[in-house]
Amino acid sequence: METPPTRRRRGLGGPVRVAWAIVLVMMLAAAAWSISAKLTAWGMNGKLALGLSLMFDLAGLLCAVYARRAIERGTPAGLARLAVSAFVTVSGLLNWSHGQQVGGTTAGIGLASISLAVELLFELHRRDVRDEQRIERGLVAERMPHIPLLAWLMFPGQAWKTLRSAVRARLDSLDPVTAPVMTAVTSVDRVTVTPPVTPPRPPRRPVPAAPPTPALPAARLPQPVVPPGVRALPIVAPPVAQAPATPRTPAPIQYTDPRCAVIRSLYDTVPPSRPGTAAMRRALVAAGYEAPSDGAIRGTLRAEVEVHEPRLGQLPPAPFALGA
């Protein structure tokens, strides 16, 4: 089975990237100057203080990069985010102390806000990457129906029933959460298999054929001797075994919607698995159909496939690489 290509992630534009880099470099430079000035005032060597201040900023930057990579892989990023918060906290305290020494409370708030601004900038970037990954994997739910305020004022009972029905339909169409299933490898590209080398066997000596037995003429063949008074039984041929009947091929399933056939092909994995919403949507788009909603995919199309073949509904969900 060929997996449809995933949608390419939208990145930041060129001007936005340049502005993002300029703001980041300026804030890191200001934070490094403040920290190095504070460490120098405490009696540390100037070059060593500058290197230590750069260490705080670059360590926080590396932790932020690890957090972004964890989000792109779909793995937990809690430790990396905790490390970023620790470095930002230490840097903010040092900036606050230096600001208090230079210009009082106002300067302390201003210099401490530099470290918080860097953390906010990376947090916004992390959330943007996380949302893009959720969209690519089909984990973003459909928006609930928008009921205007005028409808709530004029028909509160009907508006509440409409919202309640929408929430119930969303709850009924959710996939159960089960443990992930490992997928076996179905194909290997460019693998050279060398057969084992076996030593040659010595040639066998030909066995001399036995001389043919001369055939006796019909007149000289020995005749069976039947004692007198013995009743001869008729010779009955053994019964011939009948070949087993060929099983009949079941008739093909006729779906009411042709899109069900596209979804049915996604079950044929090794081992068989139940496809997810994002995989079904990508397959329908690749087949030339318009992308339907999550409720239509799970509650209508996949439900019809599993009504004809109930065993498909008991299969484990597809792994993350295929189901997403």
Say if CB 153 and CB 159 are below 8 A apart.
no
What local confidence, expressed as pLDDT, does residue 217 receive? 56
Residue 37: pLDDT above 50?
Answer: yes
Higher pLDDT, 205 or 284: 284
pLDDT digits (tens, 9 = 90+) for 121-142: 777 877 787 777 777 766 666 6
Q: How large is the angle between the packed helices 78-136 and 14-41, nearest 10 degrees?
A: 170
Going by C-alpha positions, the residue among 243, 286, 239 that lies closest to residue 263 is: 286
* Average pLDDT, integer, range 9-31: 74
Using 50, 70 and 90 to split pLDDT, how confident is the model at 3? very low
What local confidence, expressed as pLDDT, does residue 187 receive? 46
Higher pLDDT, 243 or 124: 124
Measure the CA angle with vertex 21, ends 17 and 27; round to 5°.
145
pTM of whole model > 0.75? no
Share of the chain above pLDDT 90, in %: 4
Residue 265: pLDDT above 80?
Answer: yes
pLDDT digits (tens, 9 = 90+) for 177-211: 544 444 444 444 454 545 555 666 666 666 666 66
Candidate ranges 19-23, 74-78, 279-283; pick with highest mean pLDDT:
279-283
Say if CB 310 and CB 220 are below 8 A apart.
no
Letter string b/e over residues 33-63, b meaning 16 or more CB atoms within 10 A of that residue's CB = bbbbbbbbeeeeeeeebbebbbebbebbbeb
